[in-house]
Amino acid sequence: MYSGDAVTTLDELAAQVEDAGLDVACVTDHNAVAGAFAAIERDLGCRVVVGEEIRTGAGEIIGLFLSERVPYGIDVREAVVRVREQQGLVYVPHPFDPVRHALKEPVLRELCADGSIDAVEVFNAKVGLDHLNDKAGALAAEFDLPGGAGSDAHDPSAVGAAYLEMPDFDGPADFLTALGDATVVGHRFDRPRDFVPRIIPGGLKQT
């Protein structure tokens, strides 16, 4: 619910984490990290990786293992720098999806080629066309990048629609190594969601 287009409360997230049997949740609200830090304080019953889905001028990237928010709307290369300054990882969500703010393909390929990208999402549960996930997998293989998976959950029932089975890890570098041995598990979850406005504790202030 810290994302402008999502409705899941922390209590609902904790319940779904238990239902889905998740050991780790990457909380990646749009342009906000306050929800991830609140999830840590709430104790979801699993470890939480603080992340942010960052809208840049060239499309969206996700920063993982963040300590502070990256500003909305900056240049994509500046966003990469800001993630790396926090010893975070740069992850590309829903590449090639024409209905969302995917990174523009020429920029995506340039960033992959110069080492700016750490991982590519090869399965997104909200991507409606299978060949787009397949294309993302081919891109990851082309640039020898590990593949990730995401529920892209904007309501509670979608949490755990896609996840990774992977070795345990300790910190960003270890996470990236473990990602190389991950298995994608998931199914498409593209039904329309019921939007029920929620009030964010403390108003709209983001950290």
pLDDT digits (tens, 9 = 90+) for 55-72: 999 999 999 999 999 999
Whether 57 and 74 have beta carbons less than 8 Å apart is answered as yes
Name 12's Cβ contacts closer than 8 Å, sequence gap at least 6. 156
% the chain with pLDDT above 70: 91
Show the tokens assigned to 51: 């992340």
pLDDT at 59: 97
Count of domains forming the chain: 1
pLDDT at 206: 43
At residue 205 the predicted structure's pLDDT band, cuts being 50, 70 and 90, is very low
In 125-167 the beta strands, taken as DSSP E runs, fall at 147-150, 162-165
Q: Which residue has the higher pLDDT, 95 or 205?
A: 95
Show the tokens assigned to 152: 């892209």
Residue 9 lies in a domain: no
Show the tokens assigned to 121: 């999402």
Dump pLDDT digits (tens) for 108-157. Answer: 999 999 999 999 999 999 998 889 999 999 999 999 999 999 999 988 99
Residue 34 lies in a domain: no
Whether 153 and 188 have beta carbons less than 8 Å apart is answered as no
Residue 43 lies in a domain: no
Residue 115 lies in a domain: yes
Residues present in the chain in total: 207
Q: Which amino acid is at 26?
A: C
The overall average pLDDT reported for the chain is 92
Residue 11 lies in a domain: no
Residue 31 lies in a domain: no
CATH number of the domain that residue 105 is part of: 3.20.20.140
Show the tokens assigned to 46: 């699993």
Cα–Cα distance for residue pair 2/128, rounded to 1 Å: 24
pLDDT at 7: 87
